[in-house]
Amino acid sequence: MELVRPVIEEFAAEMFAGFARRDQRAKGQLYLRGLLCDGKRKSMQPMAARLGVDHQQLQQFVTTSTWDHSQVRARLTRWAARFVDPDALVVDDTGFPKDGTSSPGVARMYCGALGKRGNCQIGVSVHAVTDWSSAALDWRLYLPRSWDDHTATDPAEAQRIAALRARCAIPGHARFREKWRLALDMLDEVAAWGMPARPVIADAAYGDSTAFRAGLTDRGLAYVLAVSASTSVHPATARPVAPTYSGFGRPRTRTDYPDKPMTAKTMITTAGRAAGRFVTWRRGSRKTPGNPGAVMRSRFLALRVRPANRNITRAPDGSLPECWLLAEWPTGAPEPTDYWLATLPPSIPLRDLVQLAKIRWRIEHDYRELKDGLGLDHFEGRSWTGWHRHVTLASIAQAICTTLRHTPKAPAQA
């Protein structure tokens, strides 16, 4: 810690430059040191014990001190735009298992950390990503309907929820909002903070939402989104035709496709395994006797298609927008295992398309480092503001780790 402390101080000074008071900047730096120190548990009391301070200092800084976590995230975003220079922005969410029911947003939901439904919070996040580095830029705590008194039909239930919200100091504007809407809100926010437009990557929980895909297109953002095998598509060569008038009733004017759409799985399997190409997208860390170079390689097929889900905006001639359908069909697999829709240019090389589709592995690395090493899910407070401040500080701690990893001489220079 003494070796890297100058780096922490310099990074903290940049992130906390907007704090009005010197003691706030000092406590912010202290909290970062607590997250970066050895020790499995990164809640306030264990951190304070390792730092040799009263835990009330850390608690006051996170829960009641007057500083805006969104301003800190804006500085972190501008740092990531320079240092990470991301190839993509990845949207994802992660679960925070909880024993009690008083923490904001806690409900019985599917939790990836548990691998099943359980008592948890869900945090939605946006990350700046390359193959060599990544940074968590923005966070939202998901509030299910059970935490929104405006959605309750029973007055007694609404009153109970309102009391729970008041105890957690949840602001009035924070209501139930689908995760994909939270993701769009954050993409708007990081763009306003100075993050350049980059392709958006997400799993099928987001890619299967037609509204999310439309929201990205409306914002001028390209995407590579995982989708289900049952996603409906037309071939790119399909064209809508004007309906034939039967002579009875009012003539139909809307053009439509004469053939029914097929599923993504049917489209790919009809093209056949032989239509694919083997692509190596990166080298991993797990070497085996059969793969001493840890090469990550598989067969991929890419076809131009027109997604046919409902509520997709059509061109004036009635045609659906064209995009890529990418599928992975590993050797030995009887059928494709993964599918993506991508709005990247038709001229993009297959390898580049695959690299972006597969770049989500960085997020698993982020969540593992943030949770196992930096205490992302160790916050034990019960305030809305406290949770958002804690995850912000954990993200800064991860950015410091990234700086140290990729600037080996930083401590000596400092």
Residue 247: predicted pLDDT = 62
Q: What is the pTM of this model?
A: 0.92
Instruction: State the alpha helices, DSSP H only, in 16-113.
Output: 22-36, 44-51, 55-63, 69-83
Dig out the tokens for 243 from the structure: 């309906």
Q: Report the percent of the chain where pLDDT is more than 90.
A: 72
Cα gap 284→156, rounded to integer Å:
55
Alpha carbon separation from 26 to 20, 106, 107, 376 (Å, rounded)? 12, 32, 36, 21
Contact 363, 129 (CB under 8 A): yes
* 59 neighbors 329 (Cβ within 8 angstroms): no
Tokens of residue 51, six digits: 């730092």
The residues near 90 (Cβ < 8 Å, ≥ 6 apart) are 126, 127, 129, 134, 200, 201, 202, 359, 360, 362, 363
Regions of the chain where pLDDT drops below 70: 244-254, 408-414
